[in-house]
Every structure is written in structure tokens, then in C-alpha cells.
Structure 1
Amino acid sequence: MMGRTHLAFGAVAGVHLAGTTPALGLPIMAAALLGSILPDLDTPYSKLGRRFWPVSKLVFAVFGHRGGTHSLLFAALAMAPVWMVSPPVAVALGAGIATHLAADAISFGQGPRFKIRGAGVPLFWPLRDGKAGVRLVKVNGPLENLVILPWTMLYAAQSGWNLI
């Protein structure tokens, strides 16, 4: 999926988690949004990859897109240092990453941005390189842009409004 769609899913996760710990609402929301785009640090074409392009180019050269950064191990490694400071914020970061992995598991793309043509994410990398997922939504296609993105944004806005 595109970065904007990942951010919309991260907003849904962040809004719901912020409601559980209102005192940490802003850090929780920020962590969920960051987590929702963090796995795409593995491509210099992503929102995050363009901002950290030296790191992104290196990760892309080693793993390709939808490689190790799209795994449960990556989620655990990203959450661990945050957990030591604030477990609720770490959970939000992990939830954002989980929304990213779920969205990429149902989407497919083609071209040099993808290590292996097709859908899915290597959830159990490095133990298993096989990808989990199905080809349901074309990246940047009409289903993503005209249905999934607007409805997810509306849901996040409505859920956030309910917290006020």
C-alpha cells in the first residue's frame, strides 16, 4: 500500500490505543503513525526512505523491499528499546507496524521496488523467507485509493472525534 494508506491505518490504531491511556495520547498517536510507515524504511522510494535515504538505500540493497523490515522480528526489535521507556507507547509502535504488515500482506506491486514479484510479507524472516499474504489490492490502484483509503480516514476521524 502507499504511505498515505499506511498512515491512515496507523491513525486508526493510534486513536484506539490513545483512548486507553489518555495521558499519553500524543506520544501513543505519534508512535502508531511512525510504526505504520517504519517498515518501508527498506525502500528509498517511500516517505520515510526519502528522508533517510542513505540508510534506506543500504537496507534496500541488502534485503529489497518487503524483506526483513516486514517481519515480526523487526517489530520486536523496534519495540524493545521503546518498551524500556514506556510500554504503552511501545505497544502503539508495534500496533502501527502490525497495521503496515497486514496491509502489505493483502496488497501486491510490481517492479524494482519489490524483491519478489507478488504479494505478502516475510513474517517469520529470517527463519523462513516465504511470504504470507494474498493478492487482493493493487498498490496505488483504484481499490486502495477510492475505497480503502477514504473509508479508513473517515473511520479514524470518527474514532478520534469520539475521544474528545
Structure 2
Amino acid sequence: MSQLTHLDSQGHAHMVDVSEKDITTRVARAEAFVEMLPTTLALITHGKHKKGDVLAVARIAGIQAAKKCSDLIPLCHPLMLSKVSVELTPELELNRVRIDTMCKLNGRTGVEMEALCAASTAALTLYDMCKAVDRGMTITGLRVMEKQGGKSGHWVADASVVGNA
């Protein structure tokens, strides 16, 4: 494994200087899951939740989180994202909602943290909106699924890892 880039030679945390990196198109995809009772999932999918469209609110929260990532993660660079998508898909047979996010830009640093922030915040928002009817929900499987661009090129996660049923 290579040296940790956010630590200097004395072990002090610092923001990495990316000014010499090439500007490339960078894309990252992340996923997370919110597992819940079948009755909770039915409320969401049938539009019967008293707080309204849970999936729409979670989608907007995820998009907003990607845009605010550098405010939350101390050493992340503020980025000019050109695209953020958050898709929430009910998986009825597994009693869960799958959250897929994608962040894209033309820049000098990757967007993995923004994709992860989007997925985790969408999951937290879903939990927040549904906790009154299902306190036992769990958020699982948060991970980067794919990244493209930059010197390290294209990387795809192992599809056999937990989270993919």
C-alpha cells in the first residue's frame, strides 16, 4: 500500500496540494442500503407515509450532501461538481432500499468522498423520515463501487462483496 497522502513526514494531517495534477474527467459511484420492516417499505413504496415522498426527500438530501462534502470532511477539497445523481430503488424481496449515487466533474481530484457523502446522507434521511414507524432499520453496505479518472485510472469494486444480493 502506498503512503498516506494526507499526512506529512511528521505525521501531521494536511490538505493535499493537487495544483500540479492533470485536469481529467472524474467519476465515482457509491452505494448503501437501508434495511427495514416490510410494512415500512410498503408505506414508502405506496406513498402512504405521513411525511410525504420519502424517496424524493432522501434524493435531494443526498445531492445536497455531495455539494457540501468539503464542509463535512476536513481534508476534502471544495469541488465544482458537474453532475450528481442519487437513485433510491426499493428491493421488496430484501426489505430494503438500495441507494446508488454518482458524482462527476472535470478536475484535479477525485469525487469518491462526494459519492459516499451522497449515499450516506440519503440513507440517514430515509432513516430520519421513517424512524417513528421503524426504529430497527439498519444502514449497511456503504462503499465506493467505481471510480474513473486521474492517474490511477478506472477501478471497479468486487461485485461479490456484501451488499450485493
TM (norm. structure 1) is 0.29
Q: Which has the higher strand share?
A: 2
Q: Which has the higher helix share?
A: 1
Higher relative contact order (CA closer than 8 Å, sequence separation 6+): 2
TM (norm. structure 2) is 0.29
